[in-house]
Amino acid sequence: MGKHGWSRGGMRTAALAGLTMLLVSSAVHAQGNPVPDSTEDSTFSAYGAPTGLEETPAEQDAFSANRPIAPAPWNRAVSANLSLGSMLINAVFFPVKLAVGIVGAEVGGIAGAANGGDEEAARGVWNVTTDGSYFVTPADLDGRGQFTLGSDAP
């Protein structure tokens, strides 16, 4: 160990690491900036190509006279009712859907095996019993969500 706690091997390693970083950084810098900077190209924008004033839709134009009015604020009582309603529905629906899904998975496996390993026969049972929503959300109750009991995919 040297006078200041550095050995010759440690200094050599630090010098090699510094030289490697210098070479790598110069190679990366030589490639150039792959993303254009706003100072390099005046048509570049993070929001896409610029549009004309007549082409901008009223929903995106802050100064348009035809801009739609903001929706009414959400009623907290309605939100609480939807949350409680979905909780009560899920207390009954989820255990039933889970039981149907488990039994359907087993019956689909048996149907596929009984047909000589035919995946289409198994999938016919699985799509009806295991696919779909397992929970009812407040968004499903007021029409914003998409609730499905099963899949009708082949």
pLDDT digits (tens, 9 = 90+) for 41-71: 555 656 666 667 677 776 667 677 776 666 6
Q: Where are the domains of the chain?
A: 76-141
Q: What is the 3 state secondary structure string of 60-93?
A: CCCCCCCCCCCCCCCCHHHHHHHHHHHHHHHHHH
Nearest to 95 by CA among 127, 125, 136: 136
Q: Residue 3 has what DSSP assignment?
A: T
CA 27, CA 75: separation in Å to the nearest integer? 59
Q: What is the DSSP letter of 19?
A: H
pLDDT at 73: 67
Mean pLDDT of the chain: 77
Q: Within 13 Å of residue 116, how many CA atoms lie on the same side as its CB? A: 0
Tell the residue number behind the tokens 């009582």, with chain if given: 77
Confidence of residue 147 (pLDDT cuts 50, 70, 90): confident
- Predicted TM-score of the model (pTM): 0.50
pLDDT above 90 (res 85): yes
Burial class (CB in 10 A: 0-12, 13-18, 19+), 122: buried
DSSP 100: H
